[in-house]
Amino acid sequence: MKREDYTTRRGRMTYHIMGFLAFPLVNVPLGIILWNISQEIDSQLPTWALALPWLVNGIVLALAFILRPDFAVGYIAFIGFAVTVVTALSVLFVAACFVTILSAPLTDDLAIGVFIFLMAAGLLGLIALAVYVFLSWWS
């Protein structure tokens, strides 16, 4: 195989998306395999089993950077996306809890409703932001 040369922007973006989708497609089955191994063995996992995710992801990234660099960029982008989503959701949760705790003496029984409303509104806002970012990247 030889290194891929991209002639259009769409070709590059296609490989970005393929790499982005490949990360969970590689790591979810890998996690299931490791979970099965840990259920079969009563003692601690052997070193090779603990190193398996590092080896598999390292090999995938090395081959991707050599043969399809934009695939590797998408593969790594999934990690950044996952960290960003978890951070945004945790900030949203803490903010909703803070507002709910402060407003609980005023709202009494409606405090849970306030929390649910704030979480739903925050999630809709995050979804709208994600759609906007994706559409601006795609165009």
Residue 97: how many CB atoms within 10 A of its CB?
A: 13
**Is there a domain that residue 61 lies in?**
yes
**Is there a domain that residue 1 lies in?**
no
- Rounded to an integer, the average pLDDT of 31-50 is 80
Say what the pTM is: 0.76
Provide the number of structural domains found in the chain: 1
**Is there a domain that residue 4 lies in?**
no
| Host domain of residue 45 | 9-138
Q: How many angstroms separate the Cα of 83 from the Cα of each of 42, 55, 63?
A: 32, 21, 24
| Chain segment 59-89, per-residue pLDDT in tens | 999 999 998 889 999 999 999 999 999 999 9
